[in-house]
Amino acid sequence: MQINLDDTANIFNTLIEESPMPIALYIGENMVIQVANRAILKAWGRDASVIGQELALALPELKDQPFLEILNQVRTTGVAYEAKEDKVLLLNNNVLQTYYFDFIYKPLKDTDGNVWGILNNATDVTELVNAKFKVEQSEALFRKMIYDAPVAIGILRGRDLIIEDANDDLLKIWGKNKAVIGLKLLDGLPELIGQPFPDLLQEVYNSGVAHYGYETMARLERNGVLGDFYFNFVYDPIFGQDGQVSGIMVVANEVTAQVISKMEAAKSEERFRNFMYDIPMATAYYETENLIIRLANDEMLRFWGKDKSVIGKTVVEAIPELNVQPFVDILQEVYRTGIIYHADQEEARLIVDGKEQKRWFSFTYKPLKDADGQVYAIIHAAMDVTKQVQLQQQKDEFLGIASHELKTPVTSIKAYAQVLERMIRNEGDEKKANMVHKMDLQLNRLTGLIGDLLDVTKIQSGKMTFNPIEFDFDAAVEEIVEEMQHISSKHKIICGLASKAIVYADKERIGQVITNFLSNAIKYSTDAGEIDVTTFSQNGEIILSVKDYGIGISEDMQHLVFDQFYRVDGNLQHTYPGLGLGLYISAEIIKSEGGRIWVESTTGQGATFFFALKVKSFR
Ligand code: ADP
């Protein structure tokens, strides 16, 4: 385009036309568009054809908007109108769109002061306003997030830490209400002065690095009372557009209840610890399947010959000599199964003062279980019974020597008595001969008692020997029954022998058990006339039973009859003589032969004694 620089009107026209700022000029009462530059046409979404038209007709979308009215006022009053970021709806490609303008309606007056036209000068600020909206929206969203957050959140602004925002949870934690918003933190919560938090906040402010606190105690005033509360919290720096810290976001989660219950647990653990240390019994406490020693009181350490350095080690590390003994396996079994283990007079070899010592303990391994029934620890309580065991051993030794020493003279007295009986009988003095015979029968009892005592000492010292042979079981039972039938003419022993089994065992010893069953059946059923003996085979075992119809054994005593020295109760002790050893010896014999022994009985209705042995083969 050729411009003649002398033509000022043309230059102004060009300036207006090319200005990036929208400009229009309306003339007269009807606001005829006299001038509309390219920028305003673009904003209107129109072309130059609107020039010369009335504004209301050219832009019909203005009809429901306030602008025509405002223009009218400017024209009649002669006062300019200025608006900032005003919303205008304009048709663009036939779609009504929202724009924002800073604009001026400036009345142009003639020399008489009459308004002849209005200059419309505008700046399109739509983008700016939209951006501002977005910021406001995201700020509103952020605030909403703070208020709705399920944790306590607040914003402290500026170096003075002005409380800009604090959601209800945070106010609740602080024990304050909305009145603190807008105050400096230390004015709103003066109780924080002297606590570490103000310094921590300044540190975050200075360094721009977040601070995390775990289970931290804060002294806060709630309902007018100062109290200790515990929190997990974050002080997170907020950066301004200049990259500098402009505030701090506080996020806090109160964990007072958890911390208190933890402290309670620690207290009760301490009480438990003290209890274990003070208990007069040797006690230790193991955790995990590896059996880590968590506690062991002085008494237990003394047993082990160790000091406190074993705490925290596994049992195997701490007491390596146990490795070749059964205890570690038993402990692990208790841990796995959750079944308590008791031991009575168990031998243990421990290295005390550098020397291996053989000691005996009675002890318990008790598993501790959590709410789900899972084992988490074992308590070990032990008593050193070495002295008692040694005394018992001395007593057993004495019994062994005494019964052995008694056996020889009694055996020769018996031989002499038999010879004497025969001689007197030959002399024809039946009365004297019968007296000597009675003496011989009493000697049999004496021999039996001495035999039992000897057997017991053999069992105690592990010296009972067995000479197994194969034998016909039913035939052996029959032999013994016949012998016993001779002794007691009062009872009829009825046999039902149907095992048909061959067993491999010490025939003498098994015979001893059957004899014991039968002599007990005779002894404890003085008022009855019958004893039933049966044998049968079942699941590869022979089972023998001896049933009597005598006094019986009460249920709570049945498990005791196989113990050493167990005897009938109270008054009956004198009615039924004995040492309480027969069934103990019988049980030891049957156990050594790999069998089972048991009793079934009801008081007053007799008893049935059983044993079971493995069948070798059948006849
Ligand atoms: P002893 O008969 O010498 O006392 P045992 O060891 O043979 O010793 O038996 C132990 C105890 O078992 C007896 O004292 C008695 O109380 C009880 N007992 C054994 N057999 C019977 C039975 N057949 N009927 C009732 N009680 C019995």
> Using H for helix, E for strand and C for coil, what is the string for 61-105?
HHCCCCHHHHHHHHHHHCCCEEEEEEEEEEEECCEEEEEEEEEEE
Instruction: Give pLDDT, residue 14.
Output: 85
Per-residue CA distances from 303 to 268, 297, 323, 474 (Å): 27, 10, 17, 53
501 backbone dihedrals φ, ψ, rounded to 5°: -110, 150
Q: How far apart are CA 557 and CA 567, in angstroms?
A: 10
Structure tokens belonging to residue 86: 């005003």
- What's residue 570's pLDDT? 62
Region 453-471: mean pLDDT is: 90
Q: What one-letter code names the amino acid at 117?
A: G
User: Closest ligand 1 atom, CA of 569?
Assistant: 16
Model confidence over 324-344: pLDDT tens digits? Answer: 999 999 999 999 999 999 999
What's the confidence (pLDDT) of residue 13? 83
CA of 351 to the centre of ligand 1 (A): 43
C-alpha distance from residue 84 to each of 129, 221, 232, 302 (Å): 10, 49, 48, 93
Helix (H) or strand (E) holding 381: strand 375-384
Ligand 1 centroid to Cα of residue 451, in Å, is 17
Distance CA 568, CA 524 (A): 10
Atom 11 of ligand 1: nearest residue by CA position: 567
pLDDT at 573 over 80: no
Confidence of residue 564 (pLDDT cuts 50, 70, 90): confident
**Amino acid making up residue 458:** K
What pLDDT is recorded for position 224?
83
At 24, the pLDDT band (50, 70, 90 cuts) reads: very high
Q: Which atom of ligand 1 is nearest to the CA of 581?
A: 6
Residue-level pLDDT at 194: 92
- CB of 167 closer than 8 Å to CB of 142: no
Q: Give the whole-number percent of the chain exceeding pLDDT 90.
A: 66
Q: What is the CA(264)–ligand 1 centre distance, in A?
A: 56
When the pLDDT of each residue in the chain is averaged and rounded to a whole number, the result is 91
What gap in Å lies between CA 86 and CA 76, rounded to an integer?
Answer: 22
Q: CB-based contacts of 48: which residues, under 8 Å, 6+ apart?
A: 36, 41
Q: Is 553 exposed, middle or buried (0-12, 13-18, 19+ CB in 10 A)?
A: buried
Beta bridge partners of 225: 222
Which atom of ligand 1 lies closest to the CA of 580? 8
pLDDT reported for residue 148: 77
Please identify, by atom number, the ligand 1 atom nearest to the C-alpha of residue 579.
3
Range 503-522 average pLDDT: 96
Question: Of all atoms in ligand 1, which is nearest to the CA of residue 573?
Answer: 14
Measured from the Cβ of residue 613, the count of other Cβ atoms closer than 10 Å reads: 23
Q: Choose the residue to mutate in 449, 455, 520 for probing ligand 1, maximizing ligand atoms within 8 Å of C-beta.
A: 520
Pocket probe for ligand 1: among 449, 455, 553, the residue whose CB has the most ligand atoms within 8 Å is 553
* Residue 143 vs residues 49, 289, 330: alpha-carbon distances, Å: 50, 53, 63
The residues lining ligand 1, judged by C-beta closer than 6 Å to any ligand atom, are 516, 520-521, 524, 548, 550-553, 561, 566-568, 578-584, 607
Nearest CA to ligand 1 atom 15: 568
Which of 452, 527, 561, 588 to mutate for ligand 1's pocket (most ligand atoms within 8 Å of CB)? 561
Indicate which atom in ligand 1 lies nearest the CA of residue 551.
Answer: 25
Percent of the chain with pLDDT over 70: 98
pLDDT category at 249 given cuts 50, 70, 90 is very high
Q: What is the pLDDT of residue 336?
A: 95
Average the pLDDT over each of 46-50, 546-550, 609-613 and give the range with the smallest value.
46-50
Distance 528 CA to ligand 1 centre (A): 16
Q: Is the pLDDT of residue 381 over 70?
A: yes
**Above 90 in pLDDT, residue 397?**
no
Closest-CA residue, ligand 1 atom 3, reads 578
For residue 303, give the 3-state DSSP assignment: helix
pLDDT at 3 over 70: no
pLDDT at 120 over 80: yes
Q: Taking residues 289-295, report their average pLDDT.
A: 94
Q: What is the pLDDT of residue 2?
A: 59
Q: Is the pLDDT of residue 49 over 80?
A: yes
Helix, strand and coil percent figures for the chain, each rounded to 5 = 45, 30, 25
Chain position carrying tokens 């002669």: 78
Calculate how far, in angstroms, residue 38's C-alpha sits from the geometric centre of ligand 1: 128
According to the model, what pLDDT value does residue 575 have? Answer: 76
Task: Tell me the average pLDDT across 180-198.
Answer: 93
- What angle, 0 to 180 degrees and rounded to 10, lies between the N-to-C axes of helices 430-460 and 582-592? 50
Distance 350 CA to ligand 1 centre (A): 40
Distances (CA, A) of 20 to 38, 43, 121, 370, 564: 8, 11, 11, 81, 119
Task: Please tell me the distance between residue 607's alpha carbon and the centre of ligand 1 in angstroms.
Answer: 10
- What is residue 276's predicted lDDT score, i.e. its pLDDT? 82
- Alpha carbon of 47 to those of 17, 39, 100, 101, 279: distances in Å? 13, 10, 20, 20, 104
**Mean local confidence (pLDDT), 52-57:** 93
* Ligand 1 atom showing the smallest separation from residue 550 Cα: 24
484 Cα–ligand 1 center, Å: 17
Q: Whose CA is nearest to atom 14 of ligand 1?
A: 567
Tell which atom from ligand 1 comes closest to the C-alpha of 583: 6
Distance 522 CA to ligand 1 centre (A): 11
Average pLDDT over residues 74-96: 88
Inter-CA distances, 209 with 69, 184, 217, 536, Å: 57, 21, 21, 88
Nearest-CA residue for atom 7 of ligand 1 = 582
> What distance in Å separates the CA atoms of residue 470 and residue 502, rounded to the nearest whole number?
6
516 C-alpha to ligand 1 centroid (Å): 9
CA 567 to ligand 1 center in whole angstroms: 6
Strand partners, 92: 95
Span 241-265, average pLDDT:
90
Q: End-to-end alpha-carbon separation of the chain, Å?
A: 137
**pLDDT tops 60 at residue 1:** no
Query: How many A from CA of 554 to the centre of ligand 1?
Result: 12
What separation in Å is there between the alpha carbon of 544 and the centre of ligand 1? 18
Contact (Cβ atoms closer than 8 angstroms) between residue 89 and residue 97? yes
Most confident of 196-210, 391-405, 569-583: 196-210
Residue nearest ligand 1's atom 25 by CA:
552
Exposure on the CB side of residue 574, measured as CA atoms within 13 A:
1
- Cα 298 to middle of ligand 1, angstroms: 45
Q: Which atom of ligand 1 is nearest to the CA of 567?
A: 14
Which residue from 459, 491, 524, 598 has its CB within 8 A of the most atoms of ligand 1, so it is best to mutate? 524
pTM of structure = 0.51
Span from the CA of 581 to the centroid of ligand 1 (angstroms): 9
